[in-house]
Amino acid sequence: MKRTTLFAATVAAVCAVTISAPAFAQGSAFPDVPANHWAASSVSALVKAGIVNGYGASPLAIGAPDKKKPAYDGNKPVTRYELAVTLYRFVQHMDKVAKQPKSKTGAMVTPKTGADAVKQLVARGYLPANSPFVKNATAAGGIKPVTADEFARALGDVLTKVQETRTPVSKDSGLDIERPGGDTHTH
């Protein structure tokens, strides 16, 4: 149990690192993340790609601290809605950078809330409607911290869909593409 709790806390901290980084001008430092922090370069890359925003910097950042300058707040647990918004932004980023082949899912409209992000990810096939993450991301559950299992499964589902929609595989190839949960799909 202690190990599971430690793992969940570690995953939540890593999620907070990737979800809550603010966008600053070039050369600026996060007020609560020193330039020599182990995750500073990764956070900067995610901010530059538009995948993450800091608390106080985005209308979708839930629980923004009372600070004039947006904070990184890497110790704050990640909520289900925050994860949904981050996964959604990742899909948008992949759509922008993928020139060939074109996305088979079409353009996505930016969600106004975390609940909208969950709905759009389900509607586009990135998350199954019956997944524990989606089931727990209700009005009350969406603002609660995401579990390690929910995070891993949601990320796996989104990455699988991204691969399916952007990786050309000939129908004649006979390749078996393994999906999370052990399902296979033969092309």
127-137 tens-digit pLDDT: 999 888 888 88
pLDDT-wise least confident of 4-18, 70-84, 114-128: 4-18
Residue 157's pLDDT is: 92
88-119 tens-digit pLDDT: 988 888 888 765 455 555 555 667 788 888 88
Which has more pLDDT, 70 or 14? 70
| For residue 37, pLDDT beyond 70 | yes
Residue 7's pLDDT is: 41
What is the SS3 assignment for 58-116?
CCCCCCCCCCCCCECCCCCCCEHHHHHHHHHHHHHHHHHHCCCCCCCCCCCCCCCCHHH
pLDDT-wise least confident of 15-19, 59-63, 67-71: 15-19
Which has more pLDDT, 69 or 87? 87
Q: Report yes or no: 80 and 137 within 8 Å, Cβ to Cβ.
A: yes
